[in-house]
Structure 1
Amino acid sequence: MPYELDNRLVIGVASSAVFDLSESDTVFRRQGEEEYRKFQQQHIDVPLPKGITFSFIKRLLSLNDLSPDDPFVEVVLLSRNDPDTGMRVMRSIGHYGLTISRAIFMQGKSPYDYIPALNIVLFLSGNKPDVDVAIRLGHPAGLVLESKAEDDENDPTLRIAFDFDGVLAGDESETVYQAAGLEAFHEHEVRNVMQPHNPGPLKELLVRIARIQTAEERHKQQNPEYENRIRVSIVTARSAPSHERALQTLKSWGVMANDAFFLGGIDKSRVLGILKPHIFFDDQAGHLKAAREVVPSVHIPFGVANRTSFHI
């Protein structure tokens, strides 16, 4: 029987998202493809340094211990390397004990066309053009940003933080805000409070995460000593009275966050630095400039907030 993906949480990762490729990329840019190929072969048994989303991916995969025979999470490597130069990436995956066994290698081409075929609910990459095109094609994709955040490897929890508009939800309300200002935005949200938002790029990711949280609760009923590992937070610039429509939307999707921060324009990094999520998703470049200094951050270049080209 074929390996079924439809009911799993499937993440697609470029090697640039999981590992620090700065040294390899420098060789490629300065010396060309042939020297890059030699460099990778000479260093094939030297594990690549951990990258920005390494801790997120490792913790996510660890949740498969809740269902070893039918894993909840599948991570697929989507690489611009050819199979030969990609061998170092696969050996690095093995070195760190990441249970990633499936990979697509496409020499010099982005494999984002395969996102729907693999039922991927999030594609992570450090390559901005690849992410931009994937988003334009309607795929759930995020640009991994450089960050100084450090991981506590002894912490078993997985904390995931989402912005709301333009990430979990569509950009309808953000469009109102951009066009008519804050007061009109609040009026629009109060008027439509019971009307769920259209889904944004990462809505399905949140739904799949919620399924694993439900499995954690079932596991805890049978194993009372078990402590839930996933914690989901919403960190948004919304404030009252627009908060209620966001919460009603989550409820309509059958999900709820563990925490919600309705900050009303307060710098998100103030909260994120204490919350310390292992990954934070936001659609706005301005929010991420400060956030990336304190937590691993991913830009979702979706919607009205990204119609002008931003440099992060």
Structure 2
Amino acid sequence: MGYKIDEKFVVAIASSALFDLSESDKVFQEKGENEYRKYQREHENHVLKKGVAFPLIKRLLSVNIDFPPNEAPVEVVLLSRNDPDTGLRVFKSIQHHNLQISRAVFTTGNNPFIYMDAFNASLFLSANPKDVREAVDLGLPAGCVYPSDYIDDDNDDELRLAFDFDGIIGDDSAEQIYQEHRTIEPYHVHEISNAAIPLPPGPLNRFFREISILQKKVIQRHKDHKEYKSKIRIAIATARNAPAHERVISTLREQEIQVDVAFFLGGIEKRRVVEVFKPHIFFDDQVTHVEGVSRIAP
């Protein structure tokens, strides 16, 4: 019987998001492929520094500790533009950090994300903007991680995820109303009249739903421990405020999802609440919002 990957919560990650590859990338850009290959072989036992998405991946995989090995719900797959030879350093670094990642695709310079569906992945994370744009153009759920000064607390075993709403969980059809009129009043009129109608799914809706299902699995696993506090917390941070907030709730109700925290900010900078919530990843579809947050959170 084959491995049942379709029953897992799967994240696909590029080595550029998991580790800091700035040094080796510089060699490739300045000296070419042959020198890069030589550099990787000479340094394959030098452990790579942690990348922007490392705290997220570490905590996602730690969820499996609470389950028997044959019931582990989380799988992380490495998708890499390296070939197996130059990619060996990445796998050695994975082993050094004791990350339970055993599956990988090495594509020797070609697009790795085209294998997302083969591994049932609900998200692809990379530090390569070109790869992410191409993945999104193909309708695949992908995110580009931005450089960050975030320092992870290894003693904090909670996993916190924060999501923008429009263009992430729901589509951007409501946002387009605002962009069309450039004033808030027509937008509010539209959202009040559609308050009970859930928004169509956005690009990361599946990932959002599956992380919520994973959260419920973990809570169910500890149902006999009354003092247990879930190690997964989910937040929404949206520029919406009342009266436009109701459509967010209608959408969550339809999907039977309860978030732990919701920020209806109405123009207040998202950075202010993200700095307090301290997510291990924050998803937003607008570069200005991402740039405002990325230095303090992945």
- Please confirm whether the aligned pair reaches a TM-score higher than 0.5, indicating the same fold: yes
Structure 1 position 215, deviation (Å)? 1.6
8 Å contact from structure 2 (residues 63, 218) kept in 1 = no
- One-letter amino acid matched to 1:201: P
8 Å contact from structure 1 (residues 44, 91) kept in 2 = yes
Structure 1 position 193, deviation (Å)? 1.2
Matched, 1:101 2:108: no
Structure 1 position 72, deviation (Å)? 1.1
Q: Tell me which residue corresponds to 1:55.
A: 55
Q: Tell me which residue corresponds to 1:179.
A: 180
Q: Tell me which residue corresponds to 1:204.
A: 206
Equivalent pairs: percent with the same residue?
49
Structure 1 gap ranges (5+): 297-312
| 1:212-291 paired onto structure 2 within 5 Å | 212-291=214-293
Q: Tell me which residue corresponds to 2:123.
A: 122
Q: Tell me which residue corresponds to 2:64.
A: 64
SS in 1 for 2:6: coil
Structure 1 position 7, deviation (Å)? 2.5
- One-letter amino acid matched to 1:127: N
Q: Tell me which residue corresponds to 2:169.
A: 168
- One-letter amino acid matched to 1:17: A
Normalised TM-score (structure 1)? 0.93
- One-letter amino acid matched to 1:258: D
Aligned positions, number? 296
Structure 2 gap ranges (5+): none
SS in 2 for 1:11: strand
CA distance in 2, matches of 1:247, 1:135: 26
8 Å contact from structure 1 (residues 40, 85) kept in 2 = yes
- One-letter amino acid matched to 1:137: L
- One-letter amino acid matched to 1:226: Y
**What do residues 193-230 of structure 1 show as CA deviations (whole Å, max 9, x unaligned)?**
11111101111111111112112221232223432100
Q: Tell me which residue corresponds to 2:38.
A: 38
**What do residues 224-266 of structure 1 show as CA deviations (whole Å, max 9, x unaligned)?**
3432100000001000011111111011012111000000011
**Aligned-residue CA RMSD (Å):** 1.0
Structure 1 position 288, deviation (Å)? 1.3
CA distance in 1, matches of 2:243, 2:2: 49
8 Å contact from structure 1 (residues 8, 208) kept in 2 = no
- One-letter amino acid matched to 2:266: G
- One-letter amino acid matched to 1:233: A
SS in 2 for 1:161: strand
Q: Tell me which residue corresponds to 2:144.
A: 143
Normalised TM-score (structure 2)? 0.97
Matched, 1:26 2:9: no
- One-letter amino acid matched to 1:64: N
SS in 1 for 2:55: helix
Q: Deviating runs (4+, > 3 A) in structure 1?
A: none
CA distance in 2, matches of 1:2, 1:46: 35
In terms of mean alpha carbon deviation, does 179-188 or 117-126 score higher? 179-188
